[in-house]
Amino acid sequence: MPLILSVGKAVPTCKINQENIVPFVRELFLKKYPSIDRLLSVFQNGEIKCRYLSKELTWYSEEHSLEEKNQTYIETAIQLSVEAIKNCVSNLEFLSSEINYDEIDGIIFVSSTGISTPTIDAHIANILPLKTSIKRIPIWGLGCAGGASGISRAFDYCKAHPESNILLVAVELCSLTFQKEDLSKSNIIGTSLFADGAAAVLVIGDESELKARTIHVALPNILQTNSTLMPNSLDVMGWDVKNEGLFVIFSRDIPSIVKNWLQPVVSSFLQSNNLAIDGLNHFIAHPGGKKVLDAYIDSLNIDPEKTSVSLDILKNYGNMSSCTVLFVLEEFMKIGKKNETGLLCALGPGFSSEMSLLKWVEC
């Protein structure tokens, strides 16, 4: 079965403490939204301490066209993607020696916060010495589920081509979608959660020669994956595309949907692999927010400690959409032991879930 060999991450240089964002948002919205103070509690309740943004706070108080925002997206996405890839192929916490770029056979690029044609992976291939025959698989629009879906698609490719080495790159610049004229509750909640970042993950097939590069006794083996689409749920999460750019759609029912819908989906997937929820050693969850993590705990009846890594990532990075679960994955890569099992899980627009069942195997 395909193995996850290494992970690398990257964030912008602008680190913003949550306590500094609150007065900024209050001043920006107060004249048009006199009751804004009622909503500002979401900034504290979310338990986020700090985040990384593409620009300094003052930039977000200025007018920016969709064209300007998108150009910033392209430039920053390329920069962060390249940095994450470099960190992935040279991460000596996982690798005995650096991976050469010509050893990578394919690149899966995931994002939902900007538009580029040629896609960002083509720009990357013109900066890094990737081979000209590299397979490119860009994926757009899966939102928070994109990173988990990318793991699944890397699994599919490596199953079909067991000698292959596939690089998954996820980059999201959620802050560039901020709408300073949008007085909706969804925009306020998104502003309290969203952040920017990138992650790269190297997935290798059974016959890959790179397996010998690991320094860990055991690596997570991807046993099986699952994608589930909830019928008639298009309005739960996504973007509303307008002349000014991307406006966030967040249903207030997301935590309750997670509580009522996710458990049978997870149970069915695990049962098909002769496992139960209480038999998992690790729960590698995308931290969409504190309420979402609480909904995982309630729905799946799991020990809150199993979401502690996800909560730590949320506290220190915020919700970076698709790449966040890959930040969580990196932490579990460091602590996983032989024969332990884990479920990597993320939810996104559609409304949908993406899951991968992992087992740490001896290398």
Distance CA 124, CA 40 (A): 39
The CATH number of the domain covering residues in 3-213: 3.40.47.10
- What pLDDT sits at residue 230? 85
pLDDT of res. 83: 98
Write down the pLDDT at residue 61: 87
Please tell me the predicted confidence (pLDDT) of residue 183: 73
Q: DSSP letter at 217?
A: S
- Residue 281 CA, chain-centre distance (Å), reads 21
pLDDT recorded at residue 102 = 94
Start-to-end CA span in the chain (Å): 12
Identify the bridge partners of residue 204 per DSSP, sorted by sequence position: 3, 165
pLDDT at residue 32, rounded to an integer: 72
Q: Which CATH class is domain 218-362?
A: alpha beta
Which pLDDT belongs to residue 173?
97
pLDDT for the residue 202: 98
Give the pTM.
Answer: 0.93
DSSP one-letter code for 261 = I
User: Checking DSSP bridges between strand 135-140 and strand 245-250, what pairing results, if any?
Assistant: unpaired
Which of 80, 143, 78, 73 lies closest to 115, judged by CA? 73
The answer for 334, left when phi > 0, alpha when psi is -120 to 50, beta otherwise, is alpha
Low-confidence ranges of the chain (pLDDT < 70): none
Which amino acid is it at 81? S
Instruction: Give me 287's structure tokens.
Output: 């931290």
What is the bridge-based pairing of β-strands 135-140 and 106-111? parallel
Give the β-pairing of 50-53 and 14-17: antiparallel
Is 323 an annotated catalytic residue?
no
126-170 pLDDT, tens digit per residue, is 999 999 999 999 999 999 999 999 999 999 999 999 999 999 999
Domain boundaries, the chain: 3-213, 218-362
Kindly state the DSSP code that residue 98 receives in the 8-state scheme: P
State the catalytic residue, choosing from 14, 88, 144, 363: 144
